[in-house]
């Protein structure tokens, strides 16, 4: 339990909001006491989209990729389709990235130590909305496995609040509120919280883009150096940069 709390404290220092950092000590103690630890190899499937879910997971070590297939099939289509040979627990041995994408869909994100996943099926009673597979470059991925009974008595209230908060954000954002339900559910899976302290840098001009930020509270200042854009005319030495204040 001490190690898990240290993990959550490390995440908090980095601004990450994870389930381990938000729950009380007695809840964490019950989870540690009643859950089990499982280890998964690189390219091993933990969750497969479309399956019924009875467990959720918290990553202790390693990292996993979230993959979503956009294929829409009916029960008749499923009956006529070729049976998928891969299931949860299988290792996709010697599969190239393109082959994994064909089987499980595109990668939409990565889970690392401290992150929880698989809770949607337990909160909402829906089928798995995405596949989760251990990243091919990861070490052995160790996870806490939490079954429905343990979830109901420890994490249910917290997870329901988190789900409701994310869903409310999507509904209030005019661009997302018109999306089909399936796409909104996929977006819900990709949302996570991060907190930044006063004067902390969120991103730097020229950095590789790996995510999009939506401000839910507070404000940021945006600065632009025109000369850093490829092909731009270099500014006169000492010329001011452009800056915009963005508020929630």
pLDDT at 242: 58
Cβ atoms of 131 and 90 closer than 8 Å: no
pLDDT at 77: 43
The DSSP bridge partners found for residue 132 are 47, 66
This prediction has a pTM of: 0.65
pLDDT at 73: 45
Integer angstrom CA distances of residue 105 from 4, 40, 65, 67, 71: 32, 20, 11, 5, 9
pLDDT at 66: 93
Domains of the chain in start order, with CATH, are 2-72+83-190 (2.60.120.10), 196-248 (no CATH)
71-98 burial, b at 16+ Cβ within 10 Å, e below that, comes to eeeeeeeeeeeeeeebebeeebeebeee
The residue count of the chain comes to: 248
Integer Cα distance of 59 and 57 in angstroms: 6
Cβ atoms of 130 and 74 closer than 8 Å: no
Q: What is the pLDDT along the chain (248 residues), one digit of tens a residue?
A: 566 666 555 654 554 545 666 677 788 888 888 999 999 999 999 999 999 999 999 999 999 999 998 765 444 444 444 456 789 999 999 899 999 999 999 998 899 888 888 988 888 888 998 999 999 999 999 999 999 999 998 888 888 888 888 888 888 888 888 888 877 877 877 787 777 888 888 888 888 887 888 888 888 888 888 777 665 555 555 555 555 555 55
């Amino acid at each position: 339990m001490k190690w898990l709390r240290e993990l959550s404290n490390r995440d908090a220092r980095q601004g990450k909001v994870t389930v381990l950092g938000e729950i009380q000590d007695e809840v964490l103690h019950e989870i540690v006491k009643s859950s089990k630890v499982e280890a998964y190899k690189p390219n091993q499937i933990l969750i497969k989209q479309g399956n019924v879910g009875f467990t959720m997971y918290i990553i202790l070590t390693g990292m996993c990729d979230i993959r979503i297939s956009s294929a829409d099939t009916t029960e008749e289509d499923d009956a006529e389709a070729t049976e998928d040979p891969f299931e949860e627990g299988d290792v996709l041995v010697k599969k190239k990235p393109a082959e994994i994408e064909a089987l499980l869909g595109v990668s939409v994100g990565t889970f690392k130590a401290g992150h929880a996943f698989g809770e949607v099926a337990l909160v909402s009673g829906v089928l798995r909305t995405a596949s989760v597979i251990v990243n091919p470059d990861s070490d052995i991925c160790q996870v806490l496995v939490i079954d429905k009974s343990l979830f109901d008595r420890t994490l249910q209230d917290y997870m329901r609040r988190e789900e409701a908060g994310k869903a409310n954000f999507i509904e209030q954002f005019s661009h997302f509120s018109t999306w089909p339900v399936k796409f909104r559910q996929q977006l819900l899976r990709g949302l996570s919280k991060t907190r930044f302290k006063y004067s902390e840098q969120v991103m730097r001009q020229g950095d590789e883009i790996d995510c999009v930020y939506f401000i839910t509270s507070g404000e940021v200042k945006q600065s632009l150096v025109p000369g850093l854009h490829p092909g731009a005319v270099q500014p006169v030495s000492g010329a001011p940069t452009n800056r915009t204040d963005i508020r929630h």
